[in-house]
Structure 1
Amino acid sequence: MKFSPRSHQDYLQFVIDQLQSEYSTPEQNAFLQQFYSDLIFWITPIDLSKTASIMQSAYSLKTKGRSPRDPADMLRSTLLMTKLGMNVDNWVRSLRTFPIYAILSGFSPLDTPGVGTFYDFFRRLWRASTPHKTGRIKRKLRKPRKKGKKNQKLEPKNPKITDKLVARVLRQDQIHYSPKEHDTLQHLFQTLFVFPSAEKGLLGDTNSFRVIGDGSPVETGARSFGKFLCDCRKSGNWKCTCKRQFSDPDATWGWDSYREKYYYGRTLYMFTAADSPYDLPVYPRLFKASQHDSVSWICGYQELRHWYPQWNLGEAILDSAHDALPIYTMLERDNVSAIIDLNNRRSGHLVYNNMEIDSDGVPICPIGRKMVCWGKCPGRQRVKWRCPAKVGKWECPHPCSPSDYGRTFYTSTADNPRLFPRIRRDSKEWRTRYASRTGVERCIKRQKVDYNLEASRGRSSRHWNIRVYLIAMCQHADAWLQEAKKQNQLTTIQQWLKSAPAA
């Protein structure tokens, strides 16, 4: 790598010098204040000086040839492009037309990168030789015929897949992580955005981190039937099983339970900070569309622990699609409290120690009345329940204990963490904590609606991963700007230009 990365303070000084040169008159300063003040204060606080060291392995060490662009400037420019909702072609044209965009990116208005430079930078962000994870030549995937119901996801093809995956995880003494194609993106996202947000207090307490997980469908722009490579159609065979060429071979068929239709693409599984006032993501992950959310959680949860080993996970908040006993067992092994809604389709008739249990985990006495919670055993994940008649001081028609204290019953989290989680499902605390699960839906909404994730109609895993991570970075930068506005830390453009702001 032949270039010398500059510090963030040098970048700020460059921006100030260039803006003072290009927009020197009071009218031009007023123009900046009116139309570009938010954009200036949005991009300039982002310290990307560590980008070169993170991406050093993606650049050649040879001294011959033209020096590459600074990766920090390229990343900063792509963030601006994502923020403004442009594609590469229009962004390159805008860099050459509007000096403000080039200056904020870190480029001289007379020397801006071309389209090929951006695509070369995208290739360096992807740790694979091809934009796809699989070969482009394969047999056509058949669209499933069985449909699910409204707001009900299809069950996994292998009913025991969660048991097998969790059993494999529990057998390991330490977290096993195999390198992924998106590792560079995650390293940049984690170092440059997630950790600074954590230092600002925008992710909650990382010593007892509360995480939310959920998946959402993402449709690809590729066709599901591919391109014919055989001559079977000439002989009248339009349903041949010959291999075809696909522009997006990694895409699969999945069920969109909200829109009640099948889609061709991927599942965006998002890990979000539950205590973040801005619903900030910490680990976005793309999986196959046909993969169930419970499987995505198990895989993504292990990767999350690999990327953030210094964080202590305290609570996992998930919807009923994750209601599987192996997931509770895995979380209990890691001392993580599970806030997971019960899936009534899987519950059936609940019995524990010859006592009937309702859907909230409350024991039902022989006459059909709910027993009364009488506190939690200190130091033990065990809850005590008492006879409702003795507590309410009314006469039971069929008393089940001769004691004046009445019958007592104990439920233990260790015996069945699914039925008896650490926080009782019938409690106000559980309902309050579970209500924060909507934060991940708002986070995904920011990706898909505010930043038009699917508008690009990409056709490769590289494209979708880069786009998801760029939007996630923008979400953190948006939160930083809102926080600065809330604390009245922003000045006018004229005041900002007079003195370089602190890095």
Structure 2
Amino acid sequence: MTPVSRSHQDYLAFVREQLRKEYNSPEAMLFLQRFYSDIIFWITASDLSATASLIRSAYSSKPRGRKPHDPADMLRCLLLMTKLGLSVDEGVVAIRTTPVYATLCGFLPGESPGVGTFYDFFSRLWRASTPHKTGRVKRRLKKPRKKGKKNQKQEPKNPKITERLVSRVLREGKIHYTPKEHDLLQQLFQTMFVLPSAAKGLLGDTKAFRVIGDGSPASTGARSFGKFLCDCRKSGNWKCDCKRQFSDPDADWGWDSYREKYYYGRTLYMFTAADSPYDLPVYPRLFRASQHDAVSWICGYRELRYWYADWKVGEAILDSAHDALPIYTMLERDDVSSIIDLNLRRSGQLVYNEMKVGSDGVPVCPINRKMICWGRDSGRPRVKWRCPAKVGKWECPTPCSPSDYGRTFYTSTADNPRLFPRIRRDSKEWRKHYALRTGVERCIKRQKIDYQLEGSRGRSSRHWNIRVYLIAMCQHADAWLEEAKKQKQLPTVQQWLNEPVAA
């Protein structure tokens, strides 16, 4: 049956009426102000009334069966559980035994849904017939033996994969988006959280949007061994290659460069707004654990441009794992300035037009002295460099030019966007921009530590995607509450309950 929804104003009127009825004494109001004021303003600030229209296709249009709950109220319950750090079982008990929680979720005390209703709601949020993307029965993935080094990402199995992917992107021209299982979650997140945050100015200028991207390991709660379906062990063969049954068949092995160990799970790749004072996410994405960050960026960047087609990406800030010439080429094609740290392990000695180039993008003369930047060449998109001896007025032991002006050298972003990006690597401006990259690490820290992403020990792609998006929604709601406190716009609970609801 098609769900019936209500407006955000009707929801606020319901909450105020119920709280005034339940807490009608000065002592009760003081108790409400002391222990529940933050959660009241946190959950009521999110307008979730569009949930029903976005999720309508997941419900049957035939008038049969029990009348479903308002999807907005169901989503509020899940956000409250995520905020409180409760599982579904614990959250159902908390909402049923705490009248304030039931009221804030949009239900009368004692009439909140049960555990099975939430799991049925999960299946509506996931656009696939099963919680997994692949079949549960398959052969076991063997753990790699070769280990990497500290803070060094595992190299991709195919060294040419980034070049091939970017070539395909440039060849296709327009963005061809293939529907994904998590599309409905992204629509809910984008419509009711990202776009309102952008309207509040919490994501920076969307006409020159600066994005940060980075990946982080996310371990699954499932075992990597799987369940044996054969009888090989009875004959003494404990290492057979027969197919097994896995509770999380989409997980695989990846390298955790920070902890220097292999993990079994997925990679959480996060796209974050660089100009956000609260390090807010705009597009969380889960990829295979064995996938390199450069590949994840190429795939996720195309999807990001599809979801936010009205935004103009002006700058991409990435770490050295993304230091690949095809990525620079793709960004230049989209008129995006690239702030990417050089990976000197992969590039070796840097040479451009028979001139050595330092790790900071500065040409080095034959006697290993850095050349002096002499500004941009007038009328041409290139940078001019002069001989350090002529500028510093000292004698060079082996002068490479008989001219009194000294040798000059030119570098251009069009010729090599990797060595010579739009913002010079040796400039203060480049270092200032690259320092913003830590915002994505703080955003992932909020997911993994503050909200304990891996604490639930999920065992399906559906579980992991829903949990990641719920936490991302909570991050935006947290930012709205902090912004209201900073602007001193929060009234007392008593004042808020007596305010009239805007029509």
TM-score, normalised to structure 2, is 0.99
* Contact 1:272–1:279, Cα closer than 8 Å, also in 2: yes
Deviation at 1:394, TM superposition (A): 1.3
Q: Report the CA distance shift for 1:235/1:107 in structure 2 as closer, same or farther (over 3 A).
A: same
Q: Which residue of 2 aligns with 1:146?
A: 146
Shift of 1:17: 0.4
List aligned pairs for 1:96-495, cutoff 5 A.
96-377=96-377, 380-495=380-495
Shift of 1:378: 5.2
**Aligned residue pair count:** 503
Amino acid in structure 2 at the alignment position of 1:249: P
Kindly provide the CA deviation profile for residues 441-484 of structure 1, in whole angstroms up to 9, marking residues without a partner as x.
Answer: 00000000000000000000000000000000000000000000
1:206, distance to aligned residue in structure 2 (A): 0.5
Q: Secondary structure at the match of 2:76?
A: helix
What's the Cα RMSD here?
A: 1.0
Q: Deviations over 1:240-287 (max 9, x none)?
A: 110000000000000000000000000000000000000000000000
Q: Is the 8 A contact 1:381 1:422 kept in 2?
A: no
Following the alignment from structure 1 to structure 2, what is the Cα–Cα distance between the partners of residues 292 and 394? 48
Distance 2:502 2:491 in 1: 13
- AA aligned opposite 1:9: Q
Amino acid in the other structure paired with 1:115: V
Task: Tell me how far apart the structure 1 counterparts of residues 379 and 317 of structure 2 sit (CA, whole Å).
Answer: 23
- Cα pair distance change 1:363/1:451, threshold 3 Å: same
**d(CA) in 2 for partners of 1:365, 1:454:** 51
Could you tell which deviates more after superposition, 321-330 or 362-371? 362-371
The Cα offsets for residues 202-243 of structure 1, whole Å up to 9 and x where unpaired, read as 000111000000000000000000000001101111011100
Q: Which residues of 2 match residues 45-84 of structure 1 at below 5 A?
A: 45-84=45-84
Q: Which amino acid aligns with 1:272?
A: T
Q: How many angstroms apart in 2 are the aligned matches of 1:502 and 1:252?
A: 51
SS at match of 1:437: helix
- Distance in 2 of aligned mates of 1:228 and 1:346: 42
State whether residues 94 and 101 of structure 1, in contact with CA within 8 Å, keep that contact through their aligned partners in structure 2.
yes
Q: Is the 8 A contact 1:16 1:500 kept in 2?
A: no
- Cα distance in 2 for residues equivalent to 1:272 and 1:147: 30
Indicate the SS of the match to 1:480: helix
Deviation for aligned residue 1:353: 1.1
Contact 1:453 1:467 in 2 (8 A): yes
How much does 1:94 deviate?
1.3
Distance 1:37 1:418 in 2: 51
2: CA distance, partners of 1:362 / 1:492: 58
Give 1:105's aligned amino acid.
Answer: C
SS in 2 for 1:52: helix
Contact 2:221 2:459 in 1 (8 A): yes
Q: Which amino acid aligns with 2:224?
A: S
Measured against aligned partners, the alpha-carbon deviations of 1:104-133 in whole angstroms (never above 9, x if no partner) come to 001111311010110111110000000000
Q: Secondary structure at the match of 1:444?
A: helix
Partner-residue secondary structure (3-state), 2:48? coil
* SS, match of residue 42 in structure 2: helix
Partners in 2 of 1:66 and 1:169 — Cα distance?
47
Is the Cα contact below 8 Å between 1:389 and 1:396 reproduced in 2?
A: yes
In structure 2, give the amino acid aligned to 1:76: R
Cα distance change, pair 30–427 in 1 and its aligned pair in 2 (3 A)? same
Secondary structure in 1 matching 2:93: helix
Residue 22 of structure 1 aligns with which residue?
22
Q: Distance in 2 between matches of 1:471 and 1:444?
A: 10
Q: Deviations over 1:54-73 (max 9, x none)?
A: 11111110112211111111
In structure 2, distance between residues paired with 1:240 and 1:29: 66
Distance in 1 between the 2:173 and 2:140 partners?
40
Structure 1 residue identity aligned to 2:211: V
Q: 1:87 maps to which residue?
A: 87
Give the Cα separation in 1 of the matches to 2:3 and 2:458. 32
In 1, Cα distance between equivalents of 2:377 and 2:134: 53
Decide whether aligned partners of structure 1 residues 278 and 114 sit closer, same or farther in structure 2, where only a CA change above 3 A counts: same
The 8 Å contact of residues 12 and 500 in structure 1, kept in 2 or not, is answered as: no
Which whole-Å CA distance do the structure 2 matches of 1:72 and 1:414 have between them? 50
SS of the residue 2:73 aligns to: helix
Q: Could you tell me how far 1:351 is from its partner in structure 2?
A: 1.4
SS in 1 for 2:72: helix
For residues 444 and 76 of structure 1, what CA distance do their matches in structure 2 show?
23
Secondary structure, aligned partner of 2:488: coil
Once structures 1 and 2 are overlaid, which stretch shifts more, 190-199 or 378-387?
378-387
Runs of 4+ in 1 over 2 A off after TM superposition: 1-4, 377-381, 500-503
Greater mean alpha carbon deviation, residues 3-12 or residues 286-295: 3-12
Report the Cα offset of residue 502 of structure 1. Answer: 4.4
Letter in structure 1 aligned against 2:24: S
Cα distance change, pair 501–377 in 1 and its aligned pair in 2 (3 A):
farther
Deviations 1:263-320 (A, max 9, x none): 0000000000000000000000000000000000000000000000000000000000
CA contact (8 A) 1:210 1:313 kept: yes
Q: Quick one: structure 1 residues 502 and 280, their matched pair in 2 at CA, closer, same or farther if it must change by over 3 Å? A: farther
Tell me, in whole angstroms, the C-alpha distance in 2 between the residues paired with 1:166 and 1:144. 28
Q: Are the counterparts in 2 of residues 279 and 440 from structure 1 also a CA contact under 8 Å?
A: yes
Give the whole-Å Cα distance in 2 for the aligned partners of 1:87 and 1:370. 59
Which AA in structure 2 matches 1:372? Answer: I
1:361 shift after superposition: 1.4
- TM-fit CA distance, 1:380: 4.4
**Residue deviations 1:160-217, cap 9 Å, x none?**
0001000000001200110000000000000000000000000001110000000000
Tell me if the contact between 2:253 and 2:290 (Cα under 8 Å) persists in the aligned partners: yes
SS at match of 1:268: strand
CA distance in 1, matches of 2:495, 2:472: 31
Q: Secondary structure at the match of 1:374?
A: strand
1:501 CA displacement: 5.0
Contact 1:322/1:340 (CA < 8 Å) preserved in 2?
Answer: yes
Code of the residue aligned with 2:286 in structure 1: it is: L
Gaps of 5+ in 1: none
- Distance in 2, Cα, partners of 1:260 & 1:381: 43
Q: TM-score, normalised by structure 1?
A: 0.99
SS in 2 for 1:436: helix
For residues 3-61 of structure 1, the C-alpha deviation after alignment (integer angstroms, 9 at most, x for no partner) is 43111000000000010111111111111000000000000010011111111111110
What residue number does 1:43 align with? 43
